[in-house]
Structure 1
Amino acid sequence: MKKTFFCPFLVFLFCLFVSGFAGAQSACSIKPVNLRTEYLDRPEGLDERKPRFGWAFEAANPDGRGQGQTAYRVIVKCGECTAWDSDWVASNRMQQIEYQGKSLKSDRRYTWTLLVKDENGIEAPPAQSEWTTGLFEQSEWSAKWIGSDEVFDYKIGMKKGDCNIADPWLRKTFMLNEKPGRAVLFVASVGYHELYVNGKQIDSHHVLSPAATDHTKRARYIAYDIAGALQPGKNAIVIWLGASWSIFPGYITENLPRTPIVRAQADIYKNRSDTSPLLRLQTDETWKTLPSPNRLLGSWDFGNMGGEIFDGLREQEMDDFSSVSLDDTNWKSATVYNPKLQVTAQRVEKNRLFDEIRPVAIEDRGDGVWRVDMGVNFAGWTEIKIAGNPGDRIDFLFSERLQNEMTFRNRSAYIIGASGRGVFRNRFNYSSGRWITIKGLKARPVLDDIRGWNVRTDAGRATTFECSDPLQNWIYDRVCWIFENLSIGGMVVDCPQRERMGYGGDAHATAETAMYNYRMAAFYTKWLEDWRDVQGTEAMVGSMNDPDYARKAETSGRLLGGGIMPHTAPTYWGGGGPGWGGICVVLPWYLYQHEGDARVLETNFDMIKKWLAFLDTHVEGGLLKRFGGKWDFLGDWLWPNATAEGMNNDSAQTLCLNNCYRVYNIKTAAKIARVLGREAEAAEWENQARVSSRAIHEKYYNAGDSSYADGSMACLAGALLADVMPSELRGEVMQRLEYEILVVRKGRMHAGITAGAMLFKVLRDEDRHDLLHSMTSQTDYPSWDYMRENGATTLWEMWEKDLRGHSLLHSSYLFPGAWYVDGIAGIKRDPEHPGFQHFIIRPPHPGDVGVTWAKAAFDSPAGLIRSAWEIDANGNMRLRVSVPPNTSATIFLPDNKRCHKIMRVGAGNYTFQAGF
């Protein structure tokens, strides 16, 4: 087995830039950038009473070195009044700065000004950002929940039919004596919504709002500034609701109707600084409703997420449904409902459209049927211009597979109106696929009349990566594309076409890939709230449309101590195992390591304790026993040939792997407890981990070949990740894993979603880039390149080229995405310094990764980090590193003896060189 040895500390620097600071400076060396409030850029409607501020820096002189912050001051104002002045704080902290001022008031705009001093004590020009508050108390909501009187018939869903209710318009007219200076409308809906004021859509560039939520407990509101759209005299406001999650079977309760509903209110003020409103606008029984021309196709359940149908025969109504001049006397009165829901802010970025996609080919299939190839498998919206006779129905069938007209019942439709022309465009649903079969047209469609977009939560991209190997670039690119197509509504779904469930196992398999490539802090903070909401309820399996199932399971969950976790959040339905519910432990820890966020540990600590206590009820002699029903104790999932070998069983592999994962959960929880100063819990969990590690080792260790259980890659990875073996045996187990990969599996991957993520994490942490490269560079089955060679534009649910119903756009194998950044490019977190204010640059030995150059730019929470290395014609490695202001880095530079020259450097740009 190959080992890495460390040389003594040596300073071995070749500087790319000379220092720009040779004496006293007359200007500040740093410029604050990326000001954030609760991880968001100028959030609106925030209901956090003690929001946290963060920022990073750019260097005023890119040739400089050692730039940093020695002091900061934050001043928060509401209008002209100062709510908080931190005064000057002698510190280099620039993240997780908690507001400590006067109690924040609801529905107010706050500005915060940042002042900083650099390493020479020189003050930078002030930087400024802002946020608006939402409604802090439930008692502040006077608006009522309203909707139409049409209610979804779940029997239709059970028959795999289509939704029987229209997406309703809800309308209100009101008078104003003058144009207001301030008016923020808070809109909470169960089901998607769009907002219109006086004929104009508000915030039209955001779609599919609000984020996915556990609607048995909560609804999330979005704040809309509508002051600019209001006018003196008569005004009209319309909220257009879409069925979507409102009819999801998992949210069936006695008090929640299966129909889209909304609760909205705004206080309208004469001036921005006023505290007494001219008028409160709120939803109630005086609002009017009319079925819109749009309706959901499908029933928003497993394999029948459907699409939308628009009735163009009513297209004239679209011209004025939200205008002031519309005569709405024939509209019905809205129906008032009384669901028991907590209403809170949406603390995550909204969904929007990205990456316009143009078709590459159209095939005539005869009889008015046309097949459009969009060139790439994607989840999102489509816009298609069509023509025909009034009343003609045009159907759009979406497919992931060339040979199938439609997969997973993804379809939409348009009924042509009196004009003979129309444009289908999504509004309250999205589709997934590469091919669109169009039926009912009289003439060949034109390529320029068709386009698509990826729809995803607007969490910004943080990273770019590229290397000399086209295959590795393809895998990285497809990993990112897949993740973007799965990140919809503030959760990561397993697949966008069949289930749309937020599986915990898939979350674990993708979390570090996501954090190393996207700005995920607000996203994951919101998703963890979803996991807290669903805790205490068993997963739903069987008939999703059983109207009593979820609530029966909730009762059962309470009897089990309230710690049980369903396998998905906020969606309840689906199968899983300890590696699914255990996301409630590992995700807060990963987020803490990445962002330096201790609050996320505190907020989720009770959930973690309950989860581990639930597992304890199924432990005998230190070993976790099978629990739950058929789908509640999955181990690894979808390794090569897994469907033939059998996965959901009581095999030694399943039991060993799940026991190892439990120990990993316990050890992670103990670390969390230590950070929080919860010493009693930490000691208890550390002891539990020792006891269970011994029990696992005694039962499952195979001394003859240093393996565990069935000797599988999964069990080896699980044992190493949880570190269950005596310390003197760890090296032997690593050697056995190396043998398993290189000899038994001939360099190929032989793990699935759960164990694959464990395997990649173990090998990343051990710097075994040679083994990772071996698995990612294979060209035949099972490999990522096998998918590419078989025409894949996205990564599949399973390693096999399956044609029997599995998804071809799935979260299964995205774990290489973190390795490209922290492995090949070498940008690593320092576990002793969460949040990247100090980080590690450790490029691999070039012979381990099969590439001659690699580069990455990572916009970390602490600033933009760059790492680029190449092997020149003389066989030397040249490493270029950019360390952002107010941070430092430890550089591990490899050499031909497999030692490392280790250097600690401050902010600046550097070049290092080593020979091989």
Structure 2
Amino acid sequence: MVVRRWMLLVAVLMSLVGERAVADAPPAECSIAAVDLECEHLIDPLGIDVVRPQLSWRIAATEPQRRALRQTAYQILVASRAEDLDRNAADLWDSGKQETQSTQHIEYNGAPLEPGMACYWKVKVWDQEDVASDWSQPAQWTMGPTAGGEWTAPWIGAAEAKPESGNAWDPWFRKRLTIDGDVQRAELQVASVGYHELYVNGQRISDTVLAPAVSNHRKRARYVTYDIAPALQPGENVIALWLGTGWSIYPAYQTDDKPAQPIVSAEGSIELAGQPAVDVRTDETWLTHPSSNKLIGTWKFRDFGGELQDTTREVPNWNQLDFDDTAWQPATVYRPKLAISAEMVEPNRVIESIEPVEVVEVNEGEYRVDMGRNFVGLIEVDVEAPPGGSVEILSSEMLESPCTWSLRNTLVVGPSGQGTFRSRFNYHSGRWLTIRGVSRKPELSDVRGYLVRSDFGRTGQFESSNELLNDIYDTTLWTLENLALGGYLVDCPQRERMGYGGDGHATINTALTNYDAAAFYTKWNQDWHDVQYDSGYLPYTAPTYWGGGGPGWSGFCVVLPWETFRQYGDRRILEQSWPTIERWLGFLEAHSEDDMLVRWKSQGDGIADQWAFLSDWLWPGADGTNSGTRETLMFNNAYWLYNLKLAAAIADELGKSDEAAALRQRASTIRDAVHAEFYDADDHSYAGGMQAHMALALLADLPPEAERPLVMDRLEREIAEVRDGHIHAGITGGAMLFKLLMREQRDDLIATMATQTDFPSWGYMLDNGATTIWECWEPESGRPGHSKLHSSYLYVGAWPIMGLAGIRPGEEPGFAAFEIRPGIIDGLHWVKASYDAPTGHIESSWRKQDGEVELTVVVPPNTTATLHLPTSRKITESGKALDQAEGLTNVRRSEETTLLDVASGTYEFRWPVD
């Protein structure tokens, strides 16, 4: 009994010691943290119009050396004041602890949000051991007028008057207001048809340019929200606007309820300490005056022109408080029927400076400036000229021509004989500038260029042992960046500036793989909805209407939301797109006979019939429109099947099982008819083996199951033997070819095409002096009159990361679970790549060295990867067998491959070179 009591006493003492030790130990630290907070794909957006916005964040490791880190729960706080959030008081929403791994697209579920509200938020997370993190850094968004809400400010403009020649001078506007108190917060929403700049008390508000994003001005205008509080002062103030003509005169946007000139509508509120808020809105009391700037050109095909800037018309201090505006005229009120919505996309900004490399005199008083590479954006040119004289500044993308596509500017110099031309409401495109009318040769320092594009972030990085591939990759992305202006991808920035759906296929995977383009494509997706006709027909460009195409152009309305959803996991884009997709498929059905599409004619869109039913476009040696050929009919019917296939997948995601089943049943019937009509059983081919047509047939599941390997073999022979390793596809078809070959992991075939240097190839373009990708494979002598900066063949820019590094979406959209399928091919010694996914930083880099393949993989916290290794030989990870390595599960082996699931962490794999 004594022994038992003694043992009990010892146990109690030990327990007390243990409790004291636990009490004295520091609390466990969370192994993860929430970072990179976003609202509706944007960082701290101002003036959104979504009443239940989606919130997202990434998970970072606070202990990077650990593996299998994950979030098990989160808590979000949203407050109407920053100081309340600092003390964890959430008057708008406290989500409570939500046990889930979800970090993306968390829908706000708090108190109703009203226009003008500020919302401050932060999040904390719990890790795999249920340890809570610290609160994240705070983020914010503000509410603008919401969709469907009342926009109260009238539209104003200058008095409508047709100038005697050319365009009207871009107008200025001013409004004085008095503020009796200290400003606490002030935002102004500015919607315009045409471009605008905003000033408060002479201070330019925002570093954005060419605002707002381009929209279909038959139906919509977008407002930009500006924080004007820092520029306001107690007492008298002046708000000023400078409008630029731009898209306001674009022929396709003209309607009877608005003038063919820039107009603006602005409204906002200035919150004061202890005083009623001061409302600001445009109306007839604003004053207007012509500026010193006007558009040169007609803002349409081949004549987007430039700007005339007349320094003799400049009015110093026109936007400042002490300016005498008594001679200005009252603004004219207009009443267009336009939906007004928020510009929820990254604005245009100056991204990079371009310095000239050479100035040469080509004729007496005429100088050519070489900017070193083709680019799109703003230019600044300091000049000396006779007082009152005019200086011409011409843009060209061809050395032999002083001006291409009518891109030209004029500066009228004042009495000083000196002046500076600065692009304001139009942009340059080209490599060379020709300057005429100056008194002296410009110095290199007198000329400056600036790349301008939508300011989305870079997410993909790639380099390899092959310098040609590196150059092609870099040139492709440089080209794409020069096409991303105004919230959509233009086909070419100098001649057309159209948002072609066919070209959208050629660029979307490259853009999604290399840039944070979720907001960009969400906006462009709405543009496609806006241009749809009541019949379901879609023009071939959005938001711009004009231009030729066919099913593969308009059908981008299905591909865009699907690819964006796969990359970012935002299901809303599918929900918003479904009505447009249904109407589009209805249009196709109405233009079919005997289960096949038939060629349609122009749909009242001003396009000649020959341009209304194109298939692939601009393959090597292509001649004419090819809209009436049998190959075109085959391609377009296969594309119809491809649209149906993706639409059925979208219906599945939306829980529309009946619709999905009906779409698949319809596709089955069409597939039988199209295959019977176009398949050459002896050759196992469609369209005589054309690469694009064969690839699209396989993507659309056109061949019966037993025939698919034979068709794939025939496609391989077409590439490797018939075309001697060269690509023989165009814009839309080439995108389909690369999509198929990446799906089939035929990186060897892509590498063969991508590393050619003779015609046709990307290397051939670079060897012929290209600094941006051309519109067609042929050099200028082969197809004169085509663009030298174009979206045509940019699909090659997705392959280095998706193919060679193998980073690609998995079964679960948005990269919560993803795949890594490294393309380890002959001829390459090493590849280094990374992708900043919506869920975090991914790396996949491999090297062949000393008879082994070394593969480094980084999987971000709270995600998993399925790793496809192209070997069945002995594989180690950090020197250990796979079954002994932490973080690796579900190893599956076949004769040629090994698959395994990989938790978060950094891994080093090795295996013998096969």
Structure-1-length-normalised TM-score = 0.91
- 198, 202, 205: which is aligned to 1:195? 198
SS of the residue corresponding to residue 702 of structure 1 reads: coil
Please say if residues 217 and 253 of structure 2, whose CA atoms lie closer than 8 Å, have aligned partners that are also in contact.
Answer: yes
The reply to whether residue 311 of structure 1 matches residue 313 of structure 2 is no
SS of the residue corresponding to residue 710 of structure 1 reads: helix
Aligned mates of 2:739, 2:223 — CA distance in 1: 37
After superposition, the C-alpha distances for 1:763-783 in whole angstroms (9 at most, x for unaligned) are: 000000111011111110000
Give the equivalent residue in structure 2 for 1:892: 868
Aligned mates of 2:824, 2:442 — CA distance in 1: 53
Aligned mates of 2:210, 2:490 — CA distance in 1: 15
After superposition, the C-alpha distances for 1:797-848 in whole angstroms (9 at most, x for unaligned) are: 0000025211000000001111110101111211x1111111111111332x
**How many positions carry a matched residue from both structures?**
851
The reply to whether residue 349 of structure 1 matches residue 346 of structure 2 is yes
Aligned mates of 1:423, 1:823 — CA distance in 2: 47
Give the equivalent residue in structure 1 for 2:156: 146
The equivalences for 1:740-755 within 5 A come to: 740-755=718-733
Please say if residues 69 and 127 of structure 2, whose CA atoms lie closer than 8 Å, have aligned partners that are also in contact.
Answer: yes
Aligned mates of 1:118, 1:642 — CA distance in 2: 58
Give the equivalent residue in structure 2 for 1:72: 74
The equivalences for 1:99-110 within 5 A come to: 99-110=108-119
The reply to whether residue 870 of structure 1 matches residue 869 of structure 2 is no
Once the two structures are TM-superposed, the CA of residue 875 in structure 1 deviates from its matched residue by 2.3
Please say if residues 152 and 247 of structure 1, whose CA atoms lie closer than 8 Å, have aligned partners that are also in contact.
Answer: no
Letter in 1 for 2:627: N
The reply to whether residue 129 of structure 1 matches residue 131 of structure 2 is no
Please say if residues 152 and 258 of structure 1, whose CA atoms lie closer than 8 Å, have aligned partners that are also in contact.
Answer: no
Letter in 2 for 1:613: G
Structure 2: segments with no counterpart, 5+ residues? 1-24, 85-89, 603-608, 874-894
- 545, 553, 563: which is aligned to 1:580? 553
Once the two structures are TM-superposed, the CA of residue 709 in structure 1 deviates from its matched residue by 2.7
Aligned mates of 2:829, 2:209 — CA distance in 1: 43
Give the equivalent residue in structure 2 for 1:542: none
Q: CA RMSD in A?
A: 1.5
- 213, 216, 220: which is aligned to 2:215? 213
Distance 1:634-1:522 versus aligned 2 partners, 3 A rule: same
Give the equivalent residue in structure 1 for 2:172: 169
Aligned mates of 1:308, 1:450 — CA distance in 2: 17
Aligned mates of 1:533, 1:163 — CA distance in 2: 30
Once the two structures are TM-superposed, the CA of residue 746 in structure 1 deviates from its matched residue by 0.5
Give the equivalent residue in structure 2 for 1:284: 283
Please say if residues 267 and 277 of structure 1, whose CA atoms lie closer than 8 Å, have aligned partners that are also in contact.
Answer: no
Aligned mates of 2:111, 2:28 — CA distance in 1: 36
Give the equivalent residue in structure 1 for 2:187: 184
Aligned mates of 2:147, 2:486 — CA distance in 1: 24
Aligned mates of 1:615, 1:415 — CA distance in 2: 54
Please say if residues 635 and 657 of structure 1, whose CA atoms lie closer than 8 Å, have aligned partners that are also in contact.
Answer: yes
Give the equivalent residue in structure 1 for 2:617: 637
Give the equivalent residue in structure 2 for 1:261: 263
SS of the residue corresponding to residue 584 of structure 1 reads: helix
Please say if residues 306 and 409 of structure 1, whose CA atoms lie closer than 8 Å, have aligned partners that are also in contact.
Answer: yes
Aligned mates of 1:72, 1:680 — CA distance in 2: 35
Letter in 2 for 1:86: S
Aligned mates of 1:841, 1:710 — CA distance in 2: 35
Please say if residues 843 and 893 of structure 1, whose CA atoms lie closer than 8 Å, have aligned partners that are also in contact.
Answer: yes
Aligned mates of 2:218, 2:228 — CA distance in 1: 30
The equivalences for 1:551-562 within 5 A come to: 558=534, 562=535
Aligned mates of 2:809, 2:897 — CA distance in 1: 18
Give the equivalent residue in structure 1 for 2:883: none
The equivalences for 1:507-518 within 5 A come to: 507-518=504-515
The reply to whether residue 458 of structure 1 matches residue 430 of structure 2 is no
After superposition, the C-alpha distances for 1:432-460 in whole angstroms (9 at most, x for unaligned) are: 00000000111110001211011100111
**742-751 or 115-124, larger mean C-alpha shift:** 115-124
- 695, 708, 712: which is aligned to 1:734? 712
- 614, 617, 625: which is aligned to 2:590? 617
Give the equivalent residue in structure 2 for 1:321: 318
Aligned mates of 1:345, 1:311 — CA distance in 2: 34
Aligned mates of 1:364, 1:701 — CA distance in 2: 60
Give the equivalent residue in structure 2 for 1:295: 294
Please say if residues 569 and 813 of structure 2, whose CA atoms lie closer than 8 Å, have aligned partners that are also in contact.
Answer: yes
Aligned mates of 1:851, 1:84 — CA distance in 2: 53
Once the two structures are TM-superposed, the CA of residue 696 in structure 1 deviates from its matched residue by 1.1
Aligned mates of 1:715, 1:214 — CA distance in 2: 33
Aligned mates of 1:137, 1:721 — CA distance in 2: 38
**678-687 or 413-422, larger mean C-alpha shift:** 413-422
Once the two structures are TM-superposed, the CA of residue 599 in structure 1 deviates from its matched residue by 1.2
Distance 1:236-1:65 versus aligned 2 partners, 3 A rule: same
The equivalences for 1:461-860 within 5 A come to: 461-536=458-533, 558=534, 562-629=535-602, 630=609, 631-643=611-623, 646-803=624-781, 804-830=784-810, 832-847=811-826, 850-860=827-837
Please say if residues 893 and 914 of structure 1, whose CA atoms lie closer than 8 Å, have aligned partners that are also in contact.
Answer: no
Once the two structures are TM-superposed, the CA of residue 150 in structure 1 deviates from its matched residue by 4.2
Identity level (%) = 48
Aligned mates of 1:886, 1:520 — CA distance in 2: 22
After superposition, the C-alpha distances for 1:524-563 in whole angstroms (9 at most, x for unaligned) are: 1111111111001xxxxxxxxxxxxxxxxxxxxx3xxx31
After superposition, the C-alpha distances for 1:743-786 in whole angstroms (9 at most, x for unaligned) are: 11000000000110000000000000111011111110000011
Aligned mates of 1:180, 1:711 — CA distance in 2: 70
Letter in 2 for 1:846: I
Aligned mates of 1:250, 1:314 — CA distance in 2: 31
Give the equivalent residue in structure 2 for 1:233: 235
Aligned mates of 1:511, 1:756 — CA distance in 2: 13
SS of the residue corresponding to residue 436 of structure 1 reads: strand
SS of the residue corresponding to residue 673 of structure 2 reads: helix
Once the two structures are TM-superposed, the CA of residue 899 in structure 1 deviates from its matched residue by 1.6
Please say if residues 57 and 103 of structure 2, whose CA atoms lie closer than 8 Å, have aligned partners that are also in contact.
Answer: yes
Aligned mates of 2:676, 2:722 — CA distance in 1: 25
SS of the residue corresponding to residue 877 of structure 1 reads: strand
Once the two structures are TM-superposed, the CA of residue 389 in structure 1 deviates from its matched residue by 2.3
**494-503 or 231-240, larger mean C-alpha shift:** 231-240
SS of the residue corresponding to residue 252 of structure 2 reads: helix
Structure-2-length-normalised TM-score = 0.92
Once the two structures are TM-superposed, the CA of residue 787 in structure 1 deviates from its matched residue by 0.5
Please say if residues 506 and 795 of structure 2, whose CA atoms lie closer than 8 Å, have aligned partners that are also in contact.
Answer: yes
Distance 1:123-1:163 versus aligned 2 partners, 3 A rule: farther
Once the two structures are TM-superposed, the CA of residue 59 in structure 1 deviates from its matched residue by 1.2
Once the two structures are TM-superposed, the CA of residue 647 in structure 1 deviates from its matched residue by 3.3
Bigger RCO of structures 1 and 2 (CA < 8 A, at least 6 apart): 1
Please say if residues 396 and 429 of structure 2, whose CA atoms lie closer than 8 Å, have aligned partners that are also in contact.
Answer: yes
Distance 1:177-1:664 versus aligned 2 partners, 3 A rule: same
After superposition, the C-alpha distances for 1:307-351 in whole angstroms (9 at most, x for unaligned) are: 111111134x1x301111000001111111111111110010100
The equivalences for 1:398-437 within 5 A come to: 398-437=395-434
Aligned mates of 2:177, 2:121 — CA distance in 1: 35
Aligned mates of 2:802, 2:141 — CA distance in 1: 34
After superposition, the C-alpha distances for 1:357-414 in whole angstroms (9 at most, x for unaligned) are: 1000011113210000000001111111111222111110100000001000011111
Aligned mates of 1:505, 1:565 — CA distance in 2: 12
Once the two structures are TM-superposed, the CA of residue 85 in structure 1 deviates from its matched residue by 1.3
Give the equivalent residue in structure 2 for 1:360: 357
Aligned mates of 2:571, 2:196 — CA distance in 1: 35
Please say if residues 152 and 259 of structure 1, whose CA atoms lie closer than 8 Å, have aligned partners that are also in contact.
Answer: no
Letter in 2 for 1:29: S
